[in-house]
Amino acid sequence: MKPAPAASDSQQLSVLVHRSLESVRPLAPALDALNRVSRRPTPFASLEYLEAFEANDEHAVAGQAPLLLVIEEGGLAIGWVPCG
């Protein structure tokens, strides 16, 4: 069994909080690529879908912003979660 890498050898994980779809737009190509290689890719995990959803959300509350969490490792996006 291979030992776990030392803390200095591994990349640090970080979670970035985004409060608008516009702030996630620069990451869209990387996030779409993650979805394509996912074990279970979904059409609902794309910025394009979220934009359409937000534009047509009949339950939207004025002034309410979406919450999007982007997980990065060593500065590269490795996952994301749209939370609402």
Per-residue pLDDT tens listing for the chain (84 residues): 544 455 545 679 999 999 988 999 999 999 999 999 999 999 888 889 888 988 888 888 887 888 999 999 988 899 888 886
Cα dihedral sign, 82-50-33-25 = negative
How high is the pLDDT of residue 10? 63
How high is the pLDDT of residue 72? 93
User: Helix (H, G, I), strand (E, B), or coil: what is residue 72?
Assistant: strand
How high is the pLDDT of residue 9? 52
